[in-house]
Structure 1
Amino acid sequence: MSASARLRETSASPLWWALLYFFCLLCGYYVLRPVRDAMGASADATAVFPAAWIDWAQAHGWALKDFVLQVLFTCTFAVMLLLQPVYGALVGRFPRRVFLPLVYLFFIVCLLGFHWAFQTQASGRGMLFFVWIAVFNLFAVTVFWSYMADVFDEHQARRLYGYIGAGGTAGAVLGPLLTQALVGVIGVAHLLLVSAALLSVCVLCIVRLRGWAIRRERRHGLASGEAAMGGSVWAGLRLVWQRPLLRAMAITLFFSVGAATLLYNQQAAIAREFYPDPAAATAYFARIDSAVNLLAILTQLLLTRWLLGRFGPAPALLLPALVLLLGFGLLLASPLPVMVAIVQVAQRAGEFALAKPARETLYTRVDRPSRYQGKAVIDTAVFRGTDLAFVWIHKAVAAAGTATVFAAGAIAAAGMLGGVCAILRARRGLGEAASVSALPTSAQPLRGET
């Protein structure tokens, strides 16, 4: 049997379990997302915030219902920062076989608690759920991709991550359809149990994939994930600061999320101007979401695997940045709703189908602390902090007009392109890092440490 045939044979079974895992994870999230969005759009402050918060705000002369999203986004970022050291302690002190199921079991227990809160109309349920779902989305997805880097080596990742991403996209498409079909029958509270059941399947997939992760580590002489990796609760922050690849990843994500946030917020402003009727605005956004999902899944199935397998991650990283830079240039010339929609579709589909899988393949070549601790900081704290910062940046630059927003977006897209170039430069040094990752974790000092 040829080497390529053996590779296909050994990667087929974990591919299907990984597909099922990501499908159920994103399906479970997108079942919940409409519930979260309804909380964020609610004009009833009592359905969102605790009564004590409402009373305090009224006593100080302002109404919380006028600042729903601002307060929710700020709370989300604060909670994300507080949970980062908790996650760092968890992955540092427990082996993979313990902390991976523990993360998802924690989310399942939370869903059972929210089921009770929604059933009893508990005060503050909306705020808690909005913040929790953001935390769940970022931590659960980053844990998934960290685990995939344990299961698959770089060559397998290049061939398979496009398919795995397509499985997630299929789940993202089915989730809202389930919500639409079931919410009128079983109610909002019971939707949370549907999501909990899907997360239970994720736990099963984690257990079934463990054997392939162990075999991959033994085959390549890597540090075992069956032992705790150690490190302080702040190890992830230190890794991002000290390691060139992680630093470049953080810079790229900062500008990528910033450009996307500027585009999204200006799209909402333009939609309010051109589509004052709520039904027309809803149809406009629905068409965008449908186009994003269709383009993403076609790209994942037809292009991503070929690009990563033939040329490596460079084209898949560079193309979304170049398309976004070109898109903002076109918007400066023609800021019409149809052009905004086209750029939005290209940006989101490029991120989901190309940039994200390409970045994740690089984590297969770094050590476990970088995959679990450093990556978590980038995907959670950096992501959410950037989102919050650019929400306020948009508010400031939008006062100068639409053209100023798109000019700021072009600058952010250029920064994203620079970050991608930094990633590709740092990637050249990963050959040396591979020998380090094969050492026991306790023997891997961080630079600057003794």
Structure 2
Amino acid sequence: MTAADTASTRLGRLRSALAESPPLLWSFAYFFCLLSGYYVLRPVREAMSASRDVEAIFPPALITFFADRGVALGEFTLQFIFTAVFVIMLLLQPVYGWLVSRFPRRVFLPAIYVFFIVTLLLFYAMFDSGVAGRGLAFILWITVFNLFAVAVFWSFMADIYSNAEARRYYGYIGAAGTLGAFLGPVLTHTLVERVGIANIMLVSAALLTVCVVCIARLRQYAVAREAERGLASGEKPMGGQILAGLKLVASEPLLRWLALLVVLGVGIGTLLYNEQNRIARIAFATDEERAKFFSALDLAVNSLTLVVQLLVTRALMSRFGIAPALLIPGVAIILGFSILAASPLPMLVAVVQVFTRASEFSLAKPARETIYTRVGREWRYKAGAAIDTVIYRGADLTFVWLHKFLSAFGSSAVFGFGVLVAGMMTFSALQLLRQEKKLPGTREAAPVAGAEPA
């Protein structure tokens, strides 16, 4: 079969999927605009994190506070940021739990995105006027935005699609998001030096506005599916405890292994992220130059992710389930970090970063999200969000300080430790698969013990 025949076959499968499932097109648009809106901003975040100008990141009062105590804040930029993000996540978790417990889906989903749109307009004003400390505020905000906005997206998808549909369609939905993630850095790379960082905020706000429209259109499909299958309605408040998400993670073996898998995966990413920022801080002089570098790295990640999603993910998960998608990234990371431990060259760090992030987005993430189609709404919206926010950032915080300690012994020590973490991640994936086999075969089957009816 020629390449043209293969492309035609895959295009035919996509057309078939769109005909079978009308909400797919709106799901594509939603995830495309969501990730495009995020990736427009991501290079700005990376540029600010790697900035040499500490006053562009931190408020003067904070710099003075630490200086009076003999601490050069610029030497602990990432450690301070990750610590602050974790504290913010702890504070926001009960707020989010209250929101999803007390309000129906039609209220809390758009409310989350409207909040982010309004705050983007505030950041436009801050960057346009050059407010001191704008970097820290923006870095903290975008980290919260990325985790919450994407977490609620996948929870919402699990309201719309069954487990079998998720295995068929999540690869396509992920590819639509990757196209958006591909467009975001292109926009930033093209526009940032012409219009400035402030106006990039308005581009992202416009894309998130489209997400709100998509939510309104997709809600009718979720309502129809719940009515057809006799599932718990998302049009009614979920109820339950505000901190139910964290309690479920603590009490349910499947969620515990899922959380540990996320923690170790985050650890791998954090080790690479810190090395990446060190390279950029040395190599580039201005925020704009660093933003262009990070946008190029994002383009490479998203290009590889898109290829895997279109050519591998759907076929792999439809035929073999989620096991290969969970295990392949761990094996690849063990190999990549072993190479880096022996030869920690800057270009190799960039290459391993591309492969690590691409395997997470194209294989591991869709596989983990497929599990949520087989459990109740409280597991999806509360436990899933707890794992993707508080636990995720707790892992960030732990590993950013571990990196600070290990980096004193050189890059080889950092990557050697990463091999150990990747091995533990692969073991956690195996344990998660054991627990996943105990779940009902489809989302319409009997609910999992300890979870609300799906």
Tell me the residue number matched to 1:27. 36
Q: Decide whether aligned partners of structure 1 residues 251 and 443 sit closer, same or farther in structure 2, where only a CA change above 3 A counts.
A: closer
Q: Tell me the residue number matched to 1:216.
A: 225
User: After the TM superposition, which residues 427-438 of structure 1 pair with which residues of structure 2 at under 5 Å, given as runs?
Assistant: 427-431=436-440, 435=445, 437=447
Q: Which amino acid aligns with 2:229?
A: H
Counterpart of 1:137, as a letter, is N
Q: 2:49 maps to what in 1?
A: 40
- Aligned residue for 1:374? 383
CA shift, 1:74, in A, is 1.6
* Superposed displacement of residue 287, structure 1: 6.3
**TM, length-normalised to structure 1:** 0.89
Using the TM superposition, name which of 364-373 and 415-424 deviates more: 415-424
CA contact (8 A) 1:161 1:305 kept: yes
- CA distance in 2 between counterparts of 1:153 and 1:263 reads 35
**What do residues 74-129 of structure 1 show as CA deviations (whole Å, max 9, x unaligned)?**
21111111111110110111111110001001111111222222233334322211
| Partner residue, 1:238 | 247
Does residue 172 in structure 1 map to residue 203 in structure 2?
no
Q: Give CA deviations for 1:131-167 in whole Å, capped at 9, x if unaligned.
A: 0010001100001011011111111111111111111
Secondary structure, counterpart of 2:234 in structure 1? coil
What is the match of residue 351 of structure 1?
A: 360
Compared CA separation, residues 408 and 27, structure 1 to 2 (3 A): same
- Mean alpha-carbon deviation: is it higher for 259-268 or for 204-213? 259-268
Give 1:39 deviation, angstroms: 2.5
Counterpart residue type for residue 49 of structure 1? F
Alignment equivalent of 1:388, drawn from 393, 397, 408:
397
* 1:391-438 per-position Cα deviation (integer Å, ceiling 9, x unaligned): 111222233343332221111111111111121111122118965549
| Superposed displacement of residue 327, structure 1 | 2.5
Q: Is structure 2 residue 300 aligned with structure 1 residue 294?
A: no
How far off its partner does 1:257 sit?
1.2
Residue type at the aligned position of 1:30: Y
User: Who is 2:418 aligned against?
Assistant: 409
1:100 is aligned, of 109, 129, 139, to: 109
Aligned to 1:252: 261
What is the aligned length? Answer: 437
Q: Check 1:209–1:431 CA distance in 2 against 1; reply closer, same or farther (3 A cut).
A: same
Gaps in structure 2 of 5+ consecutive residues: 1-12
Which residue of 43, 49, 53 corresponds with 2:62? 53
Are the equivalent residues in 1 in contact too, given 2:447–2:453 (CA < 8 A)? Answer: no
Alignment of 1:38-437 (within 5 A): 38-266=47-275, 271=279, 277-278=283-284, 288-431=297-440, 435=445, 437=447
Residues in 1 aligned to 2:297 and 2:208: alpha-carbon distance in whole angstroms = 28
**8 Å Cα contact 1:366/1:434 also seen in 2:** no
Which region of structure 1 is more displaced relative to structure 2, 54-63 or 431-440? Answer: 431-440
Tell me how far apart the structure 1 counterparts of residues 450 and 359 of structure 2 sit (CA, whole Å): 37
CA distance in 2, matches of 1:263, 1:44: 22
Give 1:447's aligned residue: none
Bigger CA drift: 225-234 or 55-64?
55-64
Query: If the length of structure 2 is used for normalisation, what is the TM-score?
Result: 0.88
Structure 1: distance between partners of 2:122 and 2:400: 31
CA RMSD of aligned residues (A): 2.9
Of 55-64 and 97-106, more deviation after overlay is shown by 55-64
The alignment partner of 1:226 has SS state of: coil
Decide which moves more: 419-428 or 88-97. Answer: 419-428
**SS state at 2:21 partner:** helix
Kept after mapping to 2: 8 A contact 1:95/1:226 = yes
CA contact (8 A) 2:245 2:384 kept: yes
Give the residue type in structure 2 aligned to 1:55.
T
Deviation, structure 1 residue 22: 0.7
Q: How far, CA to CA, are the matches of 1:257 and 1:408 in structure 2?
A: 14
Q: Percent identity?
A: 53
CA distance 1:232–1:39, shift in 2 (3 Å): same
* 1:282-339 alpha-carbon deviations (Å, 9 max, x no partner): 7987765443222110000010000111111111111111211232333344444454
Q: Distance in 1 between matches of 2:115 and 2:356?
A: 33
Counterpart CA distance in 2 for 1:80 and 1:219 is 36
Aligned-partner Cα distance in 2 for 1:120–1:340: 36
Comparing 74-83 and 371-380, the one that deviates more = 74-83
- How far residue 357 of structure 1 moved from its aligned partner, in angstroms, is 0.7
Q: Classify 1:285/1:111 alpha carbon distance in 2 versus 1 (closer, same or farther; 3 Å).
A: closer
Amino acid at match of 2:57: V
Letter in 1 for 2:386: V
Compared with structure 1, are the counterparts of its residues 229 and 142 closer, same or farther at alpha carbon in structure 2 (3 Å cutoff)?
same
- Unaligned residue ranges in structure 1 (runs of 5+): 445-450
1:334/1:216 CA distance change after superposition, 3 Å: same
Deviations 1:157-204, CA, capped at 9 Å, x for gaps: 111111111111111111122123333443322221211111010000
Task: Verify the 8 A CA contact 2:302 2:358 in the aligned structure 1.
Answer: yes
